[in-house]
Amino acid sequence: PDDSAISELSGEAAAGIVVTKTADDFGLHHTKNGKELIRIPAFAFLYLLGHAEKHGYHEMA
């Protein structure tokens, strides 16, 4: 929700990712401060994290 700490403090972050519990909870959440939070299921996040650790991290532009 827009009154959660994650939504309220997202304006201070360069990027916002919320790891969710269910496979069907994904996509963008637009906060009232104009930032976008990316919702991604835990299994997908962990897959991507493992891939990045295996192949190395690259700077984000």
**pTM for the structure as a whole:** 0.68
Question: At 28, which helix (H) or strand (E)?
Answer: strand 27-30
pLDDT digits (tens, 9 = 90+) for 22-57: 999 999 988 888 888 899 999 999 999 998 888 887
Pairwise CA distance, residues 55 & 40, whole Å = 21
Q: Give the mean model confidence (pLDDT) for residues 1-21.
A: 79
Q: Which residues contact 29 (CB under 8 A, 6 or more apart)?
A: 7, 18, 36, 37, 38, 39
